[in-house]
Chain A
Amino acid sequence: MRELFTEHLIYWLILFLFMLGPYGMIFKKNLVKKLMSMNIMQVAVILFFLALGQKTGGTIPINLPGLIGAEHYINPLPHTLMLTAIVVSLATLGVSLGLLLTVQKRYGTLEEDELLRRMNQ
């Protein structure tokens, strides 16, 4: 049982962070907070991928002259994928903030129910 705990503790924490996303998005009234929860969700996925690439005794995936052989280095593939994911999260953040500003300029509020009321008037 103990090794199950240490092996998978990290996954449970990551998945908790992951589910923080939809939770925050549904239950937080303020649109900016919804945006943050979306971002937290993306960071959680990045953590998940990096956790997959871990190796005991592996150093950072940069070639050291002396060290040959795959078991000495950490798996570089998840890192590549997650570079993409981080920049995607920045991209969606940029667009969403632009959207938020326009909404706020027109409807003057960022609280969800207040906004819906003003929209449907």
Chain B
Amino acid sequence: MPGAFFLGFLVFLMAVTGLSALFARDLLASIIMFSAFSYFAVLTYLTMGAPDVAFTEAVVGVVSTTFFIVALRRMKRGSSK
């Protein structure tokens, strides 16, 4: 089953991006790594043959990254005082 190894590799990639999202020092860096994590999740779903779920994950990934960035902007401006 070639799929298993490819799948395993993708999930491994997800694990790497997930860990680096958590252990990045700067918030913006971790948010970027987080969107990479979501991106690899989309790829994993595709290799698992779930187009609907992949599409939704992609869209939700975009929206959640936007939310994170917007929230971060307000926090940066907010935390200045």
In the complex, A touching B, CB below 8 Å? Answer: yes
Residue pair B15, A13 in contact (C-beta under 8 Å): yes
**Cβ of A22 to closest chain B Cβ, rounded Å:** 12
Chain B interface size, as a band, is: 35 or more
10 pairs of residues in contact across A and B, judged by CB atoms under 8 Å: A17-B11, A33-B30, A37-B22, A59-B49, A79-B53, A86-B53, A87-B60, A97-B67, A104-B75, A104-B79
**Distance A80 CA – B51 CA, assembled complex (angstroms):** 11
Q: Is A50 in contact with B50, judged by CB distance below 8 angstroms? A: yes
How many A residues touch the partner, as a band?
35 or more
* Chain B minimum-CB-distance residue to A21: B18
Chain B at the A interface: mostly helix, strand, loop or mixed?
helix
Smallest beta-carbon distance B18→chain A, Å: 5
With contacts A50-B45, A86-B53, A109-B79 known, is A36 near B30, CB below 8 A? yes
Q: In the complex, A97 Cα to B69 Cα: how many Å?
A: 11
Residues of A contacting B79 with CB < 8 Å?
A: 104, 108-109
Q: Is A6 an interface residue (CB 8 A)?
A: yes
Chain B, range 11-47, C-beta contacts under 8 Å to A: 11-12, 14-15, 18-19, 21-22, 27, 30-31, 34, 37-38, 41, 44-45
* A120 at interface, CB cutoff 8 A: no
| B46 CB → nearest A CB, Å | 9
- Against B, the Cβ 8 Å flags (1 = close, 0 = not) of A57-72 are 0111110000000000
B residues less than 8 Å from A104 (CB atoms): 74-75, 78-79
B72, chain A: closest CB distance, angstroms: 8
Interface residues of A in 48-106 (CB under 8 A from B): 50-51, 53-54, 56, 58-62, 74, 78-79, 82-83, 86-87, 89-90, 93-94, 97, 100-101, 104-105
* Contact status A74-B50, CB under 8 Å: yes
